[in-house]
A and B are shown apart, each in its own frame.
Chain A
Amino acid sequence: MTDAIVAENLTYKYGDLMAVDHINFNVAEGEIFGFLGPNGAGKSTTVKVLTAQMKPKEGKAMVLGMDVTTNVRAVQSEIGVCFELPNMYEQMSALENLKLFARLFGTTDFDGYDLLRRVDLTGREKDRVQNYSKGMRQRLMVARALVSKPKVLFLDEPTSGLDPTSADGIRDIIRKECDRGATVFLTTHDMTEAGELCDRVAFMNQGKLVALDTPHNLKLKYGRRALKAQVAGKGGELEDREVVMDTADTAKAVEQLFSQEKVVTVHSEEATLGAIFMQITGRGLQG
């Protein structure tokens, strides 16, 4: 399979500030690719370069086999972009906004009502966007990215600031787009979302790509699974015990725990992508 997106030594600077620092990755066709990192990591800058909004200062970006700096119109005809900040025509209705972009893309088989139904905006199609709530705007932004049934979707934090139900709805749409055959480039700082949704995830930190693999492999490689237990102490009070899993001594430690102590509760703890990120970069995701 060919790669839908290729970044080679991709670099972007704002003046002296190195926002994206010589990063390399490939995204296969049909893949959901998670691009993770805290605020300021360089995620949006990478999206802007990949979608031909800005020229890389160094390196190369290819989308569907085309160099984005020299094939701007061709690339932009094949992609759908959901921007980080809302940029709808506020004085127009949701339907009018979608129709405008369908015309710009030359999409003929376009059904605005159906698209708005998918993002749960049924009944509000003809309301002006200026009367929409933040969450409704965000969902409309996702809908607009889908107008042209793009081959590659770039979604810059599409679920940020959404209520859990709306966020679930968006994640559902992303899966369906993937089923349709689209490649999805998803930036997020929600590690749970990335773990659930993405085939592979890339960790960005201060403009650099610090890890890239499937969530499963990352957990295997960095993640530490543990058995957490509460035992009854001598005076009857509860004490915490932890047994690290996947080591040579694990079996013995588990046996000791159960034979020597009075175990009250026990559960296993999975490594989260968030913990792994912390482990690799030494910083959390909300910074």
Chain B
Amino acid sequence: MNARIIAALVMKDIVLIFRNKLFLLITVFGTIAYIAIYFVMPTTVNESLKIGLYSDVTPVPPVFQQLIDKGREGLEVEQLASDQALRDAVDEGQYIAGIALPADILTGDDPQIQLYSRGDTPTEVVQSLDYVVSELAYLQDGQLPVTSQTVLGTDLLGAQIPMRNQLRAILPAILIIVQIFGLATLISEEFEGRTVRAVLVSPANIVDFFSAKVVFGVGMAFGQGLLIVAIIGGLGTQAGIAILTIFLASLVVTGIGFLAGAFSKDNMSAVSWSFVVMMLLLMPAMTALTPGAVSVWVKIIPSYYFVDTLHRAGNFGMGISDLWPNLLIMFGFAAVFISLGILALRRKVR
């Protein structure tokens, strides 16, 4: 390891990456495109919202039974056996919200319908559910019921999360993920142009070469991630966790960039490989904000944890006591991908 040599190699990589037109294009347009996609998203997600329902009267009032049987405007409603089962299921995220019908819904003067949600259930969902339920109850017995909303889960104290704040979690993830493309093409060009040979026959050795690439990859991802988080105000709460998350995410994408670069025999295959990988990583980045829609498979993809951690830390002020499992998982991903990446490149250098 030689600091002067590593510094020279990192500076060279910075010069080269900013001369890569495709990379610049993707960074700029990619960010814009994903912001746009993001704003379109809520409607598409709502179409498959799963709602739980418990009724204290049997049979279930006909209009609600109809809701269970047929759904409504993309609502999928399932019936649960008890009020407690409904609360637990909503709390665990199986349903994005829950409806509990009281025993006196058909007879009482003043029936109270309970709506359960989690702190991270989008406010729009709860609002529209409230409207739907009130309307149905009115149809049933001609009187407007009283609905009361209960937010489950002790952590997410019913905070309303405006769209702009949700971007705090998703934008840095996008920018960090895009670095995979830059790193992969840079590495494949070193091999395709045989420049790695020239560098390794100078006083620079393989450790210097890898160190420089790690410093460059992590530096680019961390620098841009941090910058965007700072600009959009994501460092207001739990700044330490946000910074640690961005750092770990930067390590993960650097490792993945190494792998994509090592498996590419030329620039074109580096472009294709990194696109495939980036698309895969961007999916959970999108779904992490809507817990009702998260399926288990998403949780094996590292980017889920970047977004989830940034979201909970930045928007709910969660601290290390809540987020340590996420951080630990990301640390594991970082260690695995960096090691695999260096191993793959080492083989390629021979």
Contacts and interface: CB of A to CB of B under 8 A. Distances in A.
Interface of A: 51-53, 72-73, 76-77, 81, 83, 85-92, 96, 100-101, 103-106, 144
Given A53-B197, A53-B200, A92-B16, A100 B8 contact: yes
A265 B121 CA distance: 105
A52 B201 contact: yes
Contacts, number: 60
Contacts of B203: 73, 76-77, 104-106
Nearest to B205: A73
A83 B197 contact: yes
B62 interface: no
9 contacts: A51-B201, A53-B201, A73-B205, A81-B198, A83-B194, A89-B12, A104-B5, A104-B9, A144-B198
B188 to A, nearest CB: 13
Nearest to A147: B202
Given A76-B202, A104-B9, A105-B203, 4 more contacts: A53-B197, A72-B205, A85-B194, A89-B195
Interface residues of B, number: 22
A91 B197 contact: no
Interface of B: 4-5, 7-9, 12, 15-16, 19-20, 193-195, 197-205
Contact of A91 (B7, B9, B16, B202): B16
A87 B198 contact: yes
B195 A104 contact: no
A51 B202 CA distance: 10
Contacts of B8: 100, 103-104
Nearest to B208: A104
Nearest to A104: B202
A90 B4 contact: no
The 3 closest A-B pairs by CB, nearest first: A103-B8, A87-B194, A104-B202
Contacts of A96: 15
Given A92-B12, A100-B8, A87 B204 contact: no
B4 to A, nearest CB: 6
A87 B190 CA distance: 9
Nearest to B4: A106
A72 B203 CA distance: 8
Chain A CB within 10 Å, residue with most, of B7, B193, B197, B204: B193
Contact of B202 (A86, A88, A105): A105
A83 B193 CA distance: 12
A81 B205 CA distance: 15
B221 to A, nearest CB: 21
A92 B7 CA distance: 17
A87 B198 CA distance: 7
Nearest to A89: B195
Contacts of B7: 103
A87 B200 contact: no
A168 B113 CA distance: 95
A81 B193 CA distance: 16
A106 B208 CA distance: 14
A92 B198 CA distance: 15
B193 to A, nearest CB: 6
Nearest to A90: B193
A144 B204 CA distance: 15
Q: Which residue of A81, A87, A90, A101 has the most chain B CB atoms within 10 A of its CB atom?
A: A87
Contacts of B4: 103, 106
Contacts of A91: 16, 19-20
Nearest to B7: A103
Nearest to B19: A91
Nearest to A100: B12
B198 to A, nearest CB: 5
A88 B195 contact: yes
Contact of B195 (A77, A81, A87, A105): A87
A282 to B, nearest CB: 35
Nearest to B203: A77
B161 to A, nearest CB: 43
A83 B198 contact: yes
Contacts of B9: 104
Contacts of B16: 89, 91-92
Contacts of B15: 92, 96
Nearest to A102: B8
Nearest to B197: A87
A90 B197 CA distance: 14
Nearest to B201: A81
A144 B199 CA distance: 11
A91 B198 CA distance: 15
A86 B195 CA distance: 9
B197 to A, nearest CB: 6
A98 B9 CA distance: 13
A101 B193 contact: no
Contacts of A87: 193-195, 197-198
A276 B278 CA distance: 61
A51 B200 CA distance: 10
A51 B197 CA distance: 11
Nearest to B350: A54
A77 B20 CA distance: 31
Nearest to B17: A91
A89 B20 CA distance: 13
